[in-house]
């Protein structure tokens, strides 16, 4: 890459290759699902629930597009950049029940830095689809590593899964914590310890 290219802001459009949902078919399927569960759709308060259910899941699973904007690291900043408590909401791919919590995302800059809001948008982009928390955590880290080429990336996700708290084990007030670290944040003990210390300090 030329020096001139490194001096300019860069915008990478991040898109999702999925097609638009078929809301008519989704509403029909929701009605059939509720009927199979013996939920009486002829009651006035429930008559419009299949439509609302279809639209609710379409909204939950709508993957947002965004510009991943980076800037030259003119100051040659080489310490950790960390954004804590980024809201996470997704849907468990095993039961299609929500899980929600926070993500802590950090990186060690190299030639470029990223607009801080883009870290939150990256989290949301990968969360808005049927997910496992483990995969979500790795996808965020790998995306930042690939698109930003930093010296290191660290991601910690803490979330409550309603598939575990509302059904099954009914383990109320439990959190699942996952992490993914790449580059210096994985290989260098001091950098890894600093990142984990700061994310633990930000935990609620």
Please report where in the chains the tokens 């670290």 appear, as a residue: 181
Tell how strand 81-92 and strand 152-161 pair up: unpaired
Marked catalytic residue, from 92, 125, 158, 184: 92
Instruction: Report how far apart, in Å, the C-alpha atoms of 67 and of each of 8, 11, 32, 188 are.
Output: 15, 6, 39, 31
28 noted as active-site residue:
no
Tell how strand 81-92 and strand 130-131 pair up: parallel
172 noted as active-site residue:
no
Cβ(17)–Cβ(122) under 8 Å?
Answer: no
184 noted as active-site residue:
no
Marked catalytic residue, from 28, 93, 134, 146: 93
Marked catalytic residue, from 95, 160, 188, 194: 95
104 noted as active-site residue:
no
55 noted as active-site residue:
no
CA distance 157 to 110: 24
Marked catalytic residue, from 84, 89, 160, 163: 163
139 noted as active-site residue:
no
Paired tokens of 85: 């408590």
What letter would DSSP give residue 61?
T
94 noted as active-site residue:
yes
Marked catalytic residue, from 27, 104, 131, 133: 133
Marked catalytic residue, from 104, 125, 143, 161: 161
Q: Which residues are catalytic?
A: 92-95, 133, 161, 163
């Amino acid at each position: 890459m030329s020096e001139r290219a490194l001096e300019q802001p860069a915008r990478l459009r991040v898109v999702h290759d999925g097609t638009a949902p078929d809301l008519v078919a989704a509403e029909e399927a929701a009605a059939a699902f509720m009927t199979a569960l013996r939920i009486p759709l002829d009651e006035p308060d429930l008559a419009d629930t299949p439509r609302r259910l279809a639209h609710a899941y379409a909204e939950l699973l709508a993957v947002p597009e965004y510009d991943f904007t980076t800037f030259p690291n003119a100051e040659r900043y080489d310490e950790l950049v960390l954004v804590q408590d980024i809201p996470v909401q997704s849907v468990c791919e095993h039961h299609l029940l929500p899980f929600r919590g926070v993500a802590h995302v950090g990186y060690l800059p190299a030639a470029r830095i990223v607009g801080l809001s883009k870290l939150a948008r990256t989290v949301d982009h990968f969360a808005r689809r049927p997910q496992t928390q483990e995969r979500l955590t790795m996808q965020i880290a790998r995306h930042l590593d690939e698109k930003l080429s930093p010296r290191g990336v660290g991601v910690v996700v803490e979330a409550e899964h309603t598939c575990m708290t509302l059904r099954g084990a009914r383990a109320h007030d439990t959190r699942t914590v996952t992490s993914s670290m790449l580059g210096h944040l994985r290989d260098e003990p001091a950098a890894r310890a600093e990142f984990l210390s700061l994310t633990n300090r930000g935990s609620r």
